[in-house]
Structure 1
């Protein structure tokens, strides 16, 4: 029997195209939600087997939604769609993702069966308490190299990089993290070294790091 799926995506176009593709592949989509409150209500009322979540829901953490879903149903399968291969760059912690969850990098959906397989396996993974699994079957050698570089960043370095990308000054970052501006400068310098971002006379180091951040995040830099 096919798993019954609740889709939680806040973008109307992405929701319609995703649901249509799922149904074309004989996935039983029983509900659609654009917010956490609606999703929780549908979870209680419809009793789906699997929740399919978009990581980029505006204004709320998809990881927190997943955690709250598990509080309602501890065996609910969870599949999270994400553009970025490191949750720390989004202000999240990999350790907070519920056990058994599947995190699928969106570009992997070039082959839609990858998503269908993740949905099918997520219920078993939840029940048997498997480790969280990242799925990115289409990563190029260059992308794999970037992931290897990102893995070398400490949590502090990843957080400072995210705050730099948010437009915060060294002084603001220092106040946020209760450290000196000098310490922030040292962390930023270390991040640049770890990620092989070389000095460029035509571009500020922070601008280079922000550009790389948004490229890794899989999002445009506005």
Structure 2
């Protein structure tokens, strides 16, 4: 298990033990995680998505799969969508379970995710099995829309957003208009659409 917060790591450890699992090691960063992984060769690993500066849980998942393609992996996060963590984040690897922490309110719920991870990797070679890449836990927004929300929440103008995204101001305006329509934000002089978009983004990253 890999979790950088001491309290969360303790709760996770107790939940796994309560579920009948033997926890062979715990780590708070990528380097320690990989050392333990190569030492113990676990059947399944739980990874926190956000480990602060440096590699994410997704990065560790890719590294572990390179060492052992048969390991089951559960990535846990407060975010409903991993793309909200930071720009240009790698996608969740195939056959990895991505689970929002707020959805795991009991040890039984955690164990279900563990068993799903084991089953997902067991079915990896089955062409008839669904290819689980965590997409069913993501928000309905495109990568572009998430990036637009992030930049608007930073208070950037359309001109500055266009520069950062290497596109025209007109294209940015059209993209924001489509995003506002998707969020059901009507054009109204009493409502600032950019503020509403920013609020939506902050609610998402808070897992609300």
> Scaled by the length of structure 2, what TM-score is found?
0.82
> How far apart are 1:202 and its partner, in Å?
5.8
* Conserved? CA contact 2:49–2:75, under 8 Å: yes
The aligned runs of 1:69-148 (5 Å cut-off) are 69-91=64-86, 96-129=91-124, 131-132=131-132, 134=134
Aligned to 2:152: 164
In 2, distance between residues paired with 1:112 and 1:136?
Answer: 22
Distance in 2 separating the partners of 1:98 and 1:135: 10
* Residue matched to 1:57: 51
Mapped to 2, the partners of 1:95 and 1:36 lie a distance apart of: 16
Structure 2 SS opposite 1:30: coil
Find the counterpart in structure 2 of residue 185 from structure 1: 173
1:25 match: 19
Return closer, same or farther for 1:113/1:135 CA change in 2, 3 Å cut-off.
farther
In 1: Cα distance, 2:136 partner to 2:145 partner: 24
On the 8 A contact 1:76/1:126 being kept in 2, the answer is: yes
RMSD: 2.8
* Separation in structure 2 between the aligned mates of residue 79 and residue 108 of structure 1, nearest angstrom: 13
CA contact (8 A) 2:15 2:110 kept: no
**1:16 equivalent in structure 2:** 10
Greater share of residues in strand: 1
Following superposition, the deviation at residue 45 of structure 1 comes to: 0.9
Q: Give runs of ≥4 in structure 1 deviating > 6 Å.
A: 92-95
TM-score (norm 1): 0.78
